[in-house]
A and B are shown apart, each in its own frame.
Chain A
Amino acid sequence: MSVVLVRVDDRLLHGQIVEAWAPYCKATRIIVANDEAKKSRLQRLAIESCGSTALAIRVEDIEESIKDIAPDNTNKERVIVVFSTLKDLMQAYNKGLRFSSINIGNIHHNGKGKLLTPSVYIDEEDEVILHTLSQLGVELDIRAVPTDKPVGIKIEMRNEK
């Protein structure tokens, strides 16, 4: 099992992932890692009904998804993992999920925070996380769909105390 895309998207699963990223990455499985969606029967059902035999879609909580994507899992699936926030992503990282790059598609924070692209706003907490990630050598790729131009960002920490 190889992870082909790690995405942060507060709208979780929608057209951009299924119709643009999945064919672009030749993905065969999408894992939506979100505790709340896992708990809500309705949301889980709705998300999983987007799947087909060619592209399986599962909703899992974060713990479960990490176990699922563990490197010793040797089947040939190509997986997209979707988190709803950078905090969830960081939580997964701290629990042992490793990735070399992440894609940031949609973070809205109700329009508050710093605007990076029309669909990505980051608050201070996000900024700290992004900084940590880039220091860990994780590539940051900020764009909604693969045909967009990737936005480069500079993350300066405000004088670390």
Chain B
Amino acid sequence: MLDIIWQSFLVSLVGGLLSLDRTAVLQIMVSRPIITGPIIGYILGDVKTGLLIGGMLELLFVGGLPIGGHIPPHEVMIAVLVTTITIIGQRLLYGIGFDRFPWRFADSDIIFVLGAAILMISPMDAACKKADTSARFFNRRFFNTASAELGNGNIKGVIVNNLKGAGVFFLLNFATLLVLSLAGVGVVYLSFLFLPVAVIMSLPLACASVLIIGLASAYNTSYDNRSLPIFLAAALFVLMIITVGVGRW
């Protein structure tokens, strides 16, 4: 129990730092799921799963443009949460012989936990967006303080307040991540204990639908008339190469 809390704490700390890259500092895109996933996976000792989740979510959220006032899904925090919930949840369940399942839970069953985590994306995203909006609200206040201090001839105030803004983002994101990851792990654990077996068995379908929607949303970033034939032609071409290469007809 204690190590779960410690791990969630660590993950939220790193996740909070990574999420700064999204809007506040640098923006070298370490805040994209394909980077965040493996990093969180590394902390939890499972890079491969982290990369798998990161890749899936990367495609899913590739289209979210922060245009104007529109706030796209909070892809960093979701990537951190899904990875954490999946890896920790799977460990919790590992080796527990459920009487109700026809098999024992093992490594390869991660896809069931991942499915459960994916279904939680929507409510988690709502919470993350709330945190983000309130951080922006605080930042507006720092803007005003900085203006006031500049009036008093204090130049450092500009830079200090700019940093304070980043600090608020970090703290709020960190707290949100910690609460949500612990809650998510709890929900996964309880649902595997009590939900009907048929429901659990259908969870991998959520992974499949994320893959398809992910490809679809990545496809949507290209809205040229010519992109459809190019997309289909490339798919068929690669498929032919693979089948020839593998030598299976």
Contacts and interface: CB of A to CB of B under 8 A. Distances in A.
Do A and B touch (CB < 8 Å)? yes
Contact of B70 (A14, A54, A106, A148): A148
Interface string B45-78: 0000000000000000000010111100000000
B223 interface: yes
Contacts of A19: 65, 67
Given A23-B223, A54-B224, A144 B69 contact: yes
Contacts, number: 27
Contacts of A144: 68-70
Tell me if A's interface is mostly helix, strand, loop or mixed.
loop
Interface in A16-30: 16, 19-20, 23
A145 B67 contact: yes
Interface in B104-159: none
A15 B224 contact: no
B69 A118 contact: yes
A128 B95 CA distance: 71
| Interface of chain B: mostly helix, strand, loop or mixed | loop
Contacts of A54: 224
A119 interface: yes
A15 B65 contact: yes
Given A23-B223, A54-B224, A15 B67 contact: yes
Contact of B67 (A20, A106, A118, A119): A20
B143 to A, nearest CB: 14
Q: How large is the interface on A (under 10, 10 to 19, 20 to 34, 35 or more residues)?
A: 10 to 19
B224 to A, nearest CB: 7
Contacts of A20: 65, 67-68, 70
A147 interface: yes
A16 B70 CA distance: 9
A15 B70 CA distance: 11
Contacts of B224: 54
Contacts of B69: 118-119, 144
A118 to B, nearest CB: 6
Nearest to A118: B69
Given A15-B67, A16-B68, A106-B68, 11 more contacts: A14-B68, A15-B65, A20-B67, A20-B70, A118-B69, A144-B68, A144-B69, A144-B70, A145-B67, A145-B70, A147-B70
27 contacts: A14-B68, A15-B65, A15-B67, A15-B68, A16-B67, A16-B68, A16-B70, A19-B65, A19-B67, A20-B65, A20-B67, A20-B68, A20-B70, A23-B223, A54-B224, A106-B68, A118-B69, A119-B68, A119-B69, A144-B68, A144-B69, A144-B70, A145-B67, A145-B68, A145-B70, A147-B70, A148-B70
Interface of B: 65, 67-70, 223-224
Interface of A: 14-16, 19-20, 23, 54, 106, 118-119, 144-145, 147-148
